[in-house]
A = this chain, B = another copy of it.
């Protein structure tokens, strides 16, 4: 099965109560690609970096079976750079620096070899870029998953709604679901958003887990309770990567399999936050992942019962 990932490949500099980094590897496309690589997929990435982007980072992606033909390198420009500082409770952060650089004029090009992709993951980028990718695909993928954020709801709502109308699974957080739908209840929000197009809606709730909605069906996955969270950066993207990676590998988009994909995404995200940047998800073993998946089973399962 072919999996294509669209998302930023970038530099991050992060400060949390547990430490601080220099410029390190970051970007939604990076986290998604690495997380999706553990399930036996060869994936493709569509993104852009500048001449300052180290070859070792590109090799890191290649070593994860990511085809980088769709990764444009603008040698006379600089890579997207984001810097942020998390507050004490880790639930909120201040952006210190955003240098769009190459991302400001990103014109995604889908290589011929990426045509016939079965699974398309549109990471959080402008709806315009997301739509350009959809339009270039000659055959509609079996499943299109898209991530977005409140920023695009604020400045490009019309274009965002056009993208949402084209996709199968929308991934947003709880506040964004409330903003997009105008509803406080997440159940009501899901109904409103589903009517905009996507059959599936995933609402991420950070440390409180995630909800999957399809029609009247709801699945609730907790986040793994952890002793320490070092750095939440990329957790949402890593979740999305585990989710689409599991679906593409199993090639089954039933509600039952989506539940497992959500647990897989939650598993990968639970690793991600335990170290800074991509460090914790760069070299996981199958055994470590399976052990964490089993922990989710222990965490949530109870025997059937009734009065």
Chain A positions near chain B (C-beta within 8 angstroms): 38-39, 88-89, 184-188, 205, 208-209, 211, 217-220, 222, 225-229, 256, 259-260, 263, 286, 289-290, 293-294, 297-307
In the complex, what residues of B have CB within 8 A of residue A307's CB? Answer: 38-39, 286, 289-290, 293
Q: Which of A89, A218, A222, A297 has the most CB of B within 10 A?
A: A222
In contact, B220 and A300 (Cβ under 8 angstroms): yes
Give how many copies assemble into the complex: 2
In contact, A220 and B299 (Cβ under 8 angstroms): yes
From B218, B260, B299, B302, A225 is in contact (CB under 8 Å) with B218
Known: A187-B226, A205-B208, A297-B302. 6 other contacts (CB 8 A): A38-B307, A88-B184, A185-B226, A218-B299, A220-B300, A301-B301
From B219, B298, B299, B301, A299 is in contact (CB under 8 Å) with B219
In the complex, what residues of B have CB within 8 A of residue A208's CB? Answer: 205, 208-209
Q: Which 5 A-B pairs have the closest CB atoms?
A: A220-B222, A259-B302, A208-B208, A290-B306, A187-B227
Q: What CA separation (Å) do A211 and B259 show in the bound complex?
A: 21
Q: Which of A185, A209, A228, A289 has the most CB of B within 10 A?
A: A185
Q: What CA separation (Å) do A306 and B229 show in the bound complex?
A: 25
> Which residue of chain B lies nearest to A211 when distances are taken between CB atoms in the complex?
B225
Q: Report the minimum CB–CB distance from A208 to chain B (whole Å).
A: 4
In the complex, what residues of B have CB within 8 A of residue A39's CB? Answer: 307
Q: State the main secondary structure of chain A at its contact with B.
A: mixed
From B89, B211, B289, B300, A184 is in contact (CB under 8 Å) with B89
In the complex, what residues of B have CB within 8 A of residue A259's CB? Answer: 302-303
> Which residue of chain B lies nearest to A227 when distances are taken between CB atoms in the complex?
B187
In contact, B185 and A228 (Cβ under 8 angstroms): yes
Q: Report the minimum CB–CB distance from A199 to chain B (whole Å).
A: 18
In the complex, what residues of B have CB within 8 A of residue A286's CB? Answer: 307
> Which residue of chain B lies nearest to A229 when distances are taken between CB atoms in the complex?
B185
In the complex, what residues of B have CB within 8 A of residue A184's CB? Answer: 88-89
Q: What CA separation (Å) do A226 and B189 show in the bound complex?
A: 11
Q: What CA separation (Å) do A185 and B225 show in the bound complex?
A: 8
In the complex, what residues of B have CB within 8 A of residue A227's CB? Answer: 185, 187-188
Q: What CA separation (Å) do A293 and B307 show in the bound complex?
A: 9
Q: What CA separation (Å) do A29 and B160 show in the bound complex?
A: 50
> Which residue of chain B lies nearest to A40 when distances are taken between CB atoms in the complex?
B307
In the complex, what residues of B have CB within 8 A of residue A209's CB? Answer: 208, 220, 222
In the complex, what residues of B have CB within 8 A of residue A226's CB? Answer: 185, 187
Q: What CA separation (Å) do A294 and B227 show in the bound complex?
A: 32
